[in-house]
Amino acid sequence: MNFVYLLVFLTFGTVLCVQDSYKAASIKSANENVDFNSYLPLIVEAGKSDVDILVLPAQEKTESADKYEEAVKNISDAAKKAGLYIAAHLYEGVQCQNKKEIVRSNIVFDREGKTVSVYKKPMNNLTNCTSVDSEGSFKTDFGVTFGLLMGEDLALYKPETFGGLKNFLVLGGFVPQIPILGGPQLLQSWAYVNRANIISPAGIYASGSAANNGNAMIVADLNKEGADPASPPIMSPSQLQDSPAEDLSLYAVKPLDLESASRGLQETVCHGQLCCQFKIKTKLTGTKPLHTYSLAALRGDRAFSRGQRVGVQSCAIFACPGPDGDTCVTQIEWGELNVIFEQINISGNFSKSNTALYPMVVAADTVPLDNFKFDTKVTDQKLASIELTEARVFSAGIFGRDFDRDANTKSTGENNAYSNFYDYIFNDDVLGIIDYVWIRLRILIFVVSIYILEMI
Ligand SMILES: *[C@@H]1O[C@H](CO)[C@@H](O)[C@H](O)[C@H]1NC(C)=O
Ligand SMILES: *[C@@H]1O[C@H](CO)[C@@H](O)[C@H](O)[C@H]1NC(C)=O
Ligand SMILES: *[C@@H]1O[C@H](CO)[C@@H](O)[C@H](O)[C@H]1NC(C)=O
Ligand SMILES: *[C@@H]1O[C@H](CO)[C@@H](O)[C@H](O)[C@H]1NC(C)=O
Ligand SMILES: *[C@@H]1O[C@H](CO)[C@@H](O)[C@H](O)[C@H]1NC(C)=O
């Protein structure tokens, strides 16, 4: 009898383990092709390898808007054929007061090809015809509740807005005027800070670790509850090829004196109320440094998109091509780096209320988890620090969003509508109850199974 018990436990234990994760996939854009059927072979392959949910690459908006219905049908058929959930970002042309208007649309299909969630947004706010329309989150047959978002949502809303969900589909490219907020860097850091999984056409990010290889399709096993990070949120230049460089003319900047940095240096740079402390020790391979470095601080509001400004606070170090630090504003050529930072410690006193802080690092080396630390501590201020050892960095620092400073753009009315909408959809109480019931149910199922097996 004891042996049977053990067997039951082992079997059940394994089943429970398996149930704690799910399989996600992301297909890289092969071309500018709008024909979704070109992805069918990969989708079928994903189905065969038991992928639960898959995201498709984005399309060119201008051509595809007329083919919305066709695309919906093709993707629905593919989801049914492969037996998995598929999410896509589509453009839909709608007729609006005798003008054609384009609507951005995130749409998710289940294993039967049925639409389970839709999130629509007009391309701009100058319209009376379309408004934001979303189901916010949706549940799956593998026990995971996903938040369905567009790229800019992670930048525009506080993480708490999304009700503590741990799994997100983020689709829909958006190019804000703040480079860092538009690229994969934010996806990765957001996932790291919030211990969340983000599945997007740009890649799959689990608690900061990126499952990205050169393949046409990335597949990753993700822990349903999110997990502790396995690697630090650091990007390589190759992952950021399309990202424009940061505009350092907005920052308070001090050039890094590499001579004293080689002996170990401490420097403070302040911008308004924000003071950033830099502790840096470098060593040089070769005789002459190939780059200069700027220590930078920024506190204020910046243009995010047309007519929209958002509050930011950052402390960071940037590599600049050429001998003259002032030319950092131009595009950094991702070249060879020969300054090794034996230690970087950047800290700042960020404003206490209503901020979200993200570590942002672009480095030429992979950095083990032990060589990276990111801490935030709230006293009478909000102190945050990032520490790195043994890395050649293009940029490293803390990027902060200061949501209080967004207030001056709220007069557009648009932001208000969005925030209220999300406050409602991702209401803590609603999601909390769902989680609570599910956890209870799982324990009940477990206990009952053991009981039944014991009777046999
Ligand atoms: C839908 O599938 C048909 C048939 O394969 C194809 O001709 C068409 O281009 C596809 N359209 C889209 C938008 O994927
Ligand atoms: C939207 O509706 C308002 C009031 O009905 C009207 O004044 C305005 O001109 C409309 N805007 C557009 C772009 O049609
Ligand atoms: C980094 O700086 C912060 C703030 O000054 C400090 O709390 C932390 O101990 C420093 N870490 C190291 C390794 O020096
Ligand atoms: C940060 O420190 C500086 C200098 O000590 C101080 O003037 C400033 O008020 C502090 N900022 C915040 C947000 O507390
Ligand atoms: C729409 O956005 C523009 C900037 O793109 C802004 O100036 C305008 O106030 C906004 N209008 C509404 C009704 O939100």
Q: How far apart are CA 372 and CA 391, in angstroms?
A: 10
Tell me the mean pLDDT in the region 72-77. 95
**Reduced to 3 states, what is the DSSP secondary structure of residue 269?**
strand
Burial per residue of 62-99, b for 16 or more beta-carbon CB atoms within 10 angstroms, e otherwise:
eebbebbeebbebbbebbbebbbbbbbbbbbbbeeeee
Residue bearing the CA closest to ligand 2, atom 6: 128
Q: 16-25, 49-58, 384-393: which range is least confident on average?
A: 16-25
pLDDT at res. 10 = 46
Q: Is the pLDDT of residue 423 over 50?
A: no
Query: Mean pLDDT across the chain, nearest whole number?
Result: 82
pLDDT of residue 412: 45
Whether 127 has a pLDDT exceeding 70, the answer reads no
Atom of ligand 4 nearest to the CA of 350: 13
- Bridge partners (DSSP) listed for residue 378: 382
pLDDT band at 387 (very low <50, low <70, confident <90, very high): very high
More confident residue, 216 or 438: 216
For residues 213 and 416, the model is more confident at 213
Determine what percent of the chain falls in helix, strand and coil, rounding each to the nearest 5. 30, 40, 30
Ligand 2 midpoint to CA 128 (Å)? 6
178 Cβ partners below 8 Å, 6+ apart?
Answer: 155, 302, 303, 304, 310, 312
* Residue 123 half-sphere exposure toward CB, CA atoms < 13 A: 13
Strand order from edge to edge, sheet including 274-284? 265-271, 274-284, 339-350, 382-388, 372-378
Q: pLDDT at position 333, please?
A: 61
345 lines ligand 3 (CB under 6 A): yes
Residue type present at position 388? L
Q: Of 107, 98, 101, nearest to 56 (Cα)?
A: 107
Residues 16-41: tens digit of each pLDDT: 455 799 999 999 876 666 678 889 99
Q: pLDDT-based confidence at 428, cuts 50/70/90? A: very low
Q: How many residues are listed for the chain in this entry?
A: 456
Mean of the pLDDT values across residues 434-451?
A: 59
At 218, list the tokens. Answer: 């990335």
Q: How far apart are CA 291 and CA 13, in angstroms?
A: 54
Average pLDDT (69-97) is: 92
pLDDT average, residue stretch 319-325: 66
Task: Tell me what the mean pLDDT of segment 397-425 comes to.
Answer: 61
Rounded to whole angstroms, how far apart are CA atoms 56 and 173? Answer: 12
Phi (first) and psi of residue 415, to 5 degrees: -60, -45
Q: Classify residue 176 as exposed, middle or buried by CB count within 10 Å of its CB (0-12, 13-18, 19+).
A: buried
More confident residue, 411 or 60: 60
Choose one of 274, 276, 347, 355 to mutate for the ligand 4 pocket test, by most ligand atoms within 8 angstroms of C-beta: 274
CA dist., res. 176 & res. 301, Å (int): 14
Q: Which residues have CB under 8 Å from 201's CB, separation 6+?
A: 26, 27, 28, 29, 55, 56, 57, 58, 89, 171, 173
pLDDT at 419: 46
pLDDT interval class at 429 (50, 70, 90): very low
Give residues with Cβ within 8 angstroms of 205, minimum separation 6: 184, 187, 188, 190, 191, 192, 197, 198, 211
- Quick one: average pLDDT of 279-287? 93
Nearest CA to ligand 3 atom 5: 347
Is 19 within 8 Å of 11 (Cβ atoms)?
A: no
Own/partner pairs for 371-378, CB < 8 Å, 24+ apart? 371/232, 372/232, 372/234, 374/192, 374/193, 374/232, 374/398, 378/352
Run of H or E residues at 111: none
pLDDT of 195 above 80: yes
Q: Is 95 in the pocket of ligand 2 (CB under 6 A)?
A: no
Which-ligand-closest: CA of 387?
3
Residue 416's pLDDT band (cuts 50, 70, 90): very low
Q: Following DSSP, what letter does each residue of 41-79 receive, concatenated?
A: HHHHHHHHTT--EEEPPP--HHHHGGGHHHHHHHHHHHH
Q: Which ligand is nearest to the CA of 386?
A: 3
* Distance, C-alpha 144 to centroid of its chain: 18
Instruction: Name the CA radius of gyration of the chain, rounded.
Output: 24
Mean local confidence (pLDDT), 356-382: 91
- Specify the DSSP class assigned to residue 25: E
State mean pLDDT over 53-59: 90
pLDDT class for 165, splitting at 50, 70, 90?
A: very high
49 pLDDT above the threshold of 60: yes
pLDDT of residue 424: 47
User: What pLDDT is stored for residue 213 in this prediction?
Assistant: 66
What is the pLDDT, as a whole number, of residue 430?
45
Q: 305: CA distance to ligand 5 center in Å?
A: 11
Nearest CA to ligand 3 atom 7: 385
Within 13 Å of residue 211, how many CA atoms lie on the same side as its CB?
21
Flag the least confident range among 57-66, 215-224, 257-266.
Answer: 57-66
Q: How many CB atoms lie within 10 A of CB 266?
A: 10
Chain center to CA of 268: 30
pLDDT given for residue 258 in this prediction:
92
Asked if pLDDT for residue 177 goes beyond 80, the answer is no
Distance 46 CA to ligand 3 centre (A): 46
Question: pLDDT confidence of 212, banded at 50, 70, 90?
Answer: low
104 pLDDT higher than 50 = yes
Least confident of 39-43, 139-143, 182-186, 280-284: 182-186
| Spatial strand order in the sheet of 291-305 | 234-235, 355-363, 393-402, 308-321, 291-305, 252-255
Query: What confidence score (pLDDT) does residue 16 get?
Result: 47
Atom of ligand 1 nearest to the CA of 67: 13
In this prediction, residue 47 has a pLDDT band, given cuts at 50, 70 and 90, of very high
The β-bridge relationship of strands 265-271 and 137-139 is unpaired
SS3 287: coil
Q: Dump pLDDT digits (tens) for 333-368.
A: 667 889 999 999 999 999 988 899 999 999 988 899
**Ligand 1 pocket residues where CB is under 6 Å:** 34-37, 67, 70-71, 74
